[in-house]
């Protein structure tokens, strides 16, 4: 599986995958979906936006990498990942996470920190733990679902200097 920087031609598939995850309400903090006219600008504004593609060039998933903070804490990266539901379980997520770590280090970040991994997102949590992310703790009831219920989020970090 190839993970590469996104291209303009990838944007419609990226937007569709991103919006699928937003609608599922179990991973992203965003409430509204990306509109066609804002998607490319959003992905281009990141420090890195990449796509996982199959042998036929179909986009299976995406990642975005950007600073988690500014100034003295600007060495901390953050990332988001989205894999099309039809492509899950085929290694795209792991390929995207591993490439985002490599890319974040290349961009000069020292740490990758996840601020809001929804506690019920067990597949993501298993993957992060497999790759070597360290759990930082739990924030109780910090993720609001559309139905008004709340769920815990978990925080993780990865020391990029060890890559």
Q: What is the pLDDT of residue 162?
A: 95
What's the sign of the alpha-carbon dihedral 24, 101, 4, 78? positive
pTM for this structure? Answer: 0.97
Q: Which two tokens stand for residue 5?
A: 């920087």
Q: What does the pLDDT look like over 72-90, one tens digit per residue? A: 999 999 999 999 999 999 9
* Average of per-residue pLDDT across 64-69: 97
SS3 label, residue 3? strand
DSSP letters for 124-152 = HHHHHHHHTPEEEEEEEEEEE-TTS-EEE
Q: Which two tokens stand for residue 137?
A: 């703790």
Q: What does the pLDDT look like over 1-41, one tens digit per residue? A: 999 999 999 999 999 999 999 999 999 999 999 999 999 99
Nearest Cα neighbor of 60 from 93, 83, 77 is 83
């Amino acid at each position: 599986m190839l993970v590469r920087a996104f291209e303009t031609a990838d944007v419609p598939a990226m937007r569709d995958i991103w919006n699928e995850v937003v609608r599922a309400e179990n991973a992203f903090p965003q409430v509204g979906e990306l509109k066609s006219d804002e998607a490319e600008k959003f992905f281009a504004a990141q420090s890195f936006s990449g796509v996982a593609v199959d042998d036929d060039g179909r986009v299976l998933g995406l990642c975005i990498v950007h600073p988690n903070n500014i100034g003295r804490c600007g060495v901390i990266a953050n990332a988001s990942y989205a894999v099309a539901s039809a492509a899950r379980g085929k290694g795209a997520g792991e390929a995207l996470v591993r490439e985002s770590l490599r890319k974040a280090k290349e961009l000069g970040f020292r740490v990758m920190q996840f601020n809001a991994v929804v506690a019920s997102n067990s597949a993501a949590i298993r993957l992060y733990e497999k790759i070597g992310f360290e759990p930082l703790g739990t924030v109780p009831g910090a993720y609001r679902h559309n139905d008004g219920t709340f769920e815990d989020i978990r925080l993780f970090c990865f020391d990029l200097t060890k890559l």
